[in-house]
Structure 1
Amino acid sequence: MKVSTGYKKPPMLVVLAGGLGSRLAPITICEKSSQKISGTRIYNSNAFPKPLLPLGGMIPLMQPLIDTIKSECEIDRTAMVLMYMPEDFRQYYGNSVEYFWDHQVERNVNLDTAGCILEGWNSDIRGSLDIPANYIIPSGDIRAKINTREMYDLHVKNNALATIALAPVQWHEVGRFGTVVREGDIRDINTDRFSLYLGQKFSRILEFKEKTPHSPSNLNNASIYIISKRLFDLIVDDVDFLIDDSFPHRPNEIKLSEGRRKRLGVFSSYLKGEGLIKKGQVNPNFSDWGRHIFPDIIERPQIYGQQEANDPEGLYGFVFDGLWSDDGTKLALWRSNMELLAGMGGVFGNSDFSWWPKPENIIKGNNGLPVWYGNNVKISKSSTLLGPTIIGDNVTIEDNSIVASSVIGSGWTIAYGSEITSSALYPDRKFLGLVADNRHLEYSVKNKQIYGSLIGSGFPKNGSVFLVPNSGAKFSFSDGIARIEKGVIVATDSMLIIDGFIQ
C-alpha cells in the first residue's frame, strides 16, 4: 500500500536510543560506567543498553515498535541517535541502519533530545538532494502498540508542523510525564480535569505541561513524534521575529529593538558569538523537545505559523488506545515480563499484549496453560512446567525442578531441585550477537528457590555477591563480603537479582 499523501518520499525513521538507563542500574551498568557501593566497585559484565534489553528473553525492547513503523509507513531510511554503549547498536543492527549518530560520544557532551537529532540531520541530511519532508521519531525505551500509519496520514492531511503520540496514564502518575491539553477536550467541572477526549484522535495542542503533578490532563506525551523538515529548519539556529512588547519574554529570547526579538536556536550562532557556548554544544535553554521546543511552538505563532501558503504549522496530538508503557525502572521491567506472559498490560493493565513475539514452539504446561520454547531445549520428564512460561534457546531444565509463570532466557540451566516462579532470567549478551565476556558467569541455578525476581545475568563463578539497596533492602559488608539481611542480591562482577527473593 502506498503512502496516501502528497509527499513523494516516505518519512525517515530516527530512533532515540541514547539513554543511560540509570534507573535500571546495575542491569545496564557496564564496566566503563561502573559504580561504587560501600567502596566496592560494581558493574554488570552482562550489561545491555536499555533499548536492547531482551524482553521475554529474546527480542530487544525497541525492536517491535521499529519494525511496525518501518512496515506501516514503508520506510527505507533509518538513523539511530546513540550515546551509551553505542557499539552494541552498531553490532546488532549493522547495515540495516543508514546512520548511527553518536556525536555525543565523540565529543563527550550531552546534546539533549533535540540537539542529538539536529546535529546528525544537519551534517548528513540537510544539504542532500534526497531530503525527507517528515521524520518519525520514537524513543527506543518504550513499549507501544500504535497505528503509526494512521498517525502519519493525519499529520500530513492536517499539514502539521509536529505531531505527538498521546496515551492516557493513571491520574496519580501524571507528574512523571509531559501532558497536554488539546483543542476540543472538555474539562470536567467537578474535578477540573480534561478527561472527555475519546473519539477525537487528532487535535491541535493548546497547552504543554512538562512533568507536573498538577496537570489538568492525563494525556501523556508517549515519546513518539512526527516532525516536519520545516521545524528542523526553524529551530536549528536563531530566528528574528516581530512581536508586541506586551508579550512576556521567554528565557530563550533577547530583545533586538522595539517590537523585535531573537529566539535563540538549538545551536545558537548568537550564543557561540558571545562565547557562551562552544561550537558543537547546544543552547541549554532550547535543546529538549518537551521542556523547550513544543511549548515554544504553542506560545510563539509569530515564528512557527505559516509564512507561505503551504507551510506546515501547528502542534497536534494523536491519541491512541493501544498498549503503552515506560519500562524505565527495575520493577517496571519485571512487570513487563509478567505482562508478556499474561498477554495483557500497559498503564491501566487492560491493553492487549499478546502480539509481542514469542518462540514458535508451544506445548501445554502441567496446568494446561501455554509454554513457549525455543530451539535446542532439553526438558526432564520429572520437571514441572506451569504456564504461561517462555523458555529461550539452548535451555536445560533438569530433574525435580519447577518453572512457573516465568521467562527463562537463552542459555540457562535450571538444575536439580530448583524452583523459579514469577521471575525473569535474562540471557547472555552473546545470544543477541553482542560481544560477551562471560568468563565470570555461569547461567545455572541448582537447589535454589527464586520468586518474583529479575535476574540480569548469570551467577559469578566465585560466588561473591553484594546487595543492591533497592525497595528497602538492607545489607552490610564484612571482609569485602556482603551480608544479606533483606531484599536483593547481585554479583560483584555481574548483576544477579533485582527486587526479588532467593533462598
Structure 2
Amino acid sequence: MEAILLVGGQGTRLRPLTISTPKPLLPTAGVPLLEHQLTRARDAGVTRIVFATSYRAEMFTEAFGDGTRLGLEIVYVTEDEPLGTAGAIRNASAALTCADDSPVLILNGDILSGHDISAQIAAHEKDDAAVTLHLTLVDDARRYGSVPTSPDDRVLDFVEKSPNPPTNQVNAGCYVFRRSVIDSIPAGRVVSVEYETFPGLLAKGETICGYVEAAYWLDVGTPAAFVKGVTDLVLGALASPVLTANEHGVLLLDNATVAPTARVGGGTAVGAGASIGADARVESSVLFDGAVIEPGARVIRSVVGAGARVCSAAVLEDCVIGDGATVGPGNELLNGARVWPNVALPATAIRFSPE
C-alpha cells in the first residue's frame, strides 16, 4: 500500500526550534518526529511513501534517504509554491504507482497519533468509500473542524471552527483516499481539503466515512504541545514502535550525563551528549543534543536547543531556548519566553515573561 506524507509547513509557531529544522524532523524522544508515524504506517501495511515537501526539502532526504533503514520505500516530491492540503496531495500523487481503485493513506507530518491505522484502512475498504477520515474526540471542538456522522459512519457535514460545534468529533488529519479521487483534485493551484475537496465530494453524493477512535492524538504545533508529545512518549502514554517507555520517567540518549544529586523526571528526554549538573532540577522538559544544564539551574516544561547552555541558578518554566543560546546565571524566564539561536543573555536577576 502507498501513502502520501504532508511535510511542507514551516512550523512558525514552534520557532526558534524550526528556524533551521523543519518541525517534522525535530528530535522527539530520540528520533525525528516523523519516525513515530512512519514506523506505525509501515506496521499497518504501508510499503511506499511519497513525501510532499517544501520547506527545507533537502533535509528530509538527508534524514530518511530511500527509506531502507525503516523498511520502506520513500520518494520525494517538492512543491515550489504552497498549494494547500489538497493541492499538496494532488501534486505528490504524480509519484504514486497504484491503481485507480487502490486506497492511499494520507498522513500529516505534525501529528502524533495512537489510532489503529489498519482498522481505518479496513473500514474504508468495507464501505467502498471515496474518503475515510480519522475522527478523534475532544472536550472542546470549537478550535477544530467538527465532523458529524450518521449511525452508519457516513459523514454528514464539515463545520469549520464554529462557536457552537454540532459534535465533539473532529478531523484528526489522517485520511484514506481512493486513488481516483486524488486524481480528480484540480492540479497546479491552491486547494483545501476542508473547504473545497470534502464539501465538493459530499455535494456530488460521494461516500465519505468517518472512522471514529478516541486514541491518543496530538497536534504538535506549539512548544507546549511538543513538550507534551515528547514526555508522553517517554512515559508511555503514547506507544511507539521505536521507543520503550522508561519507568523512571527519563530518557537518556547516548553519552548523556546526569549528576547524582540532580532531580530529573516527568518524561524528560536528555539528548546525546547533554549534561545536567549537581542539584539542578529538570522536569517534563526536552534537552536537545549537547545541551548543558549547570548546577542549581531549574528547567520546567521547557525545550533547550542543541548546544544551548542554562547557567547556574537560572530558572526556565514553559520556555524555548534556541540552538547554541546561553541563559546567564540568575535569569528567570517564564510563560512562553523564547530565546533565539546563539543569543547570550548576560547574568541578571531580572525576571522575564512575555505576559
Tell whether the structures are fold-level matches, with TM greater than 0.5: yes
Question: In 1, Cα distance between the equivalents of 2:158 and 2:286?
Answer: 39
226, 230, 238: which is aligned to 1:353? Answer: 238
Match of 2:7 in 1: 17
Q: What is the distance in 2 between the residues matched to 1:130 and 1:293?
A: 21
- Indicate the residue corresponding to 2:87 in structure 1: 115
Whether 1:319 aligns to 2:212 is yes
Pairing partner for 1:391 from 270, 280, 288? 270
How far apart, CA to CA, are the structure 1 residues paired with 2:52 and 2:344? 27
**Aligned equivalents of 2:3, 2:299: Cα separation in 1:** 40
1:308-347 matches, within 5 Å, as: 314-340=207-233, 343=236
Q: 1:415 aligns to what?
A: 294
Deviation at 1:160, TM superposition (A): 1.0
Aligned partners of 2:66 and 2:75 also within 8 Å: no
Q: How far, CA to CA, are the matches of 2:169 and 2:203 in structure 1?
A: 19
Shift of 1:331: 3.0
Cα 1:495/1:89, change in 2 over 3 Å: farther
Q: Structure 2 vs 1, CA of residues 18 and 140 (structure 1 numbering), >3 Å: closer, same or farther?
A: same
Partner of 1:240: none
TM-score with structure 2 setting the length: 0.83
Give the drift of 1:131: 6.7
User: Could you give the per-residue CA deviations for residues 351-402 of structure 1, whole angstroms, max 9, x where no partner exists?
Assistant: x335585578x6x8xxxx4433222233333444455533232222333433
SS at match of 1:146: coil
Q: What value does the CA root-mean-square deviation take over the aligned residues?
A: 3.1
Counterpart contact for 2:224–2:301, Cα < 8 Å:
no
**Which residue does the alignment assign to 1:307?**
none
Paired residues for 1:26-41 under 5 Å: 26-28=16-18, 30=19
**Distance change (3 Å), C-alpha of 1:216 and 1:337:** same
Q: Distance in 2 between matches of 1:492 and 1:384?
A: 26
Q: Could you list the runs of 5+ residues in structure 1 that have no partner in the other structure?
A: 1-10, 31-46, 185-201, 237-265, 268-280, 305-313, 344-351, 429-441, 472-486
1:289-327 alpha-carbon deviations (Å, 9 max, x no partner): 1111111111122xx4xxxxxxxxx10000012101112
Q: What is the rounded CA distance, in whole Å, between the counterparts of 1:131 and 1:495 in structure 2? A: 56
Gaps of 5+ in 2: 68-72, 346-351
**Mapped contact 1:162–1:226 kept (Cα < 8 A):** yes
From the superposition, tell whether residues 213 and 68 of structure 1 become closer, same or farther in structure 2 (CA, over 3 Å): same
Q: CA deviation at 1:154?
A: 1.4
Instruction: Classify 1:26/1:446 alpha carbon distance in 2 versus 1 (closer, same or farther; 3 Å).
Output: closer
SS in 2 for 1:183: coil
User: 2:181 is paired with a residue of what secondary structure?
Assistant: helix
Matches of 2:326 and 2:301, distance apart in 1 = 25
Residue deviations 1:228-251 (CA, integer Å, cap 9, x gap): 022124x24xxxxxxxxxxxxxxx
Aligned 1:335-484 pairs, distance under 5 A: 335-340=228-233, 343=236, 352-353=237-238, 355=240, 357-358=242-243, 369-386=248-265, 388-426=267-305, 428=306, 442-460=307-325
2:65 corresponds to 1:65: no
Instruction: State the partner residue of 2:348.
Output: none
Counterpart in the other structure of 1:100: 76
Letter in 2 for 1:452: E
**SS state of the match for residue 95, structure 1?**
coil
How much does 1:177 deviate?
1.6
Q: Is the 8 A contact 1:183 1:204 kept in 2?
A: yes
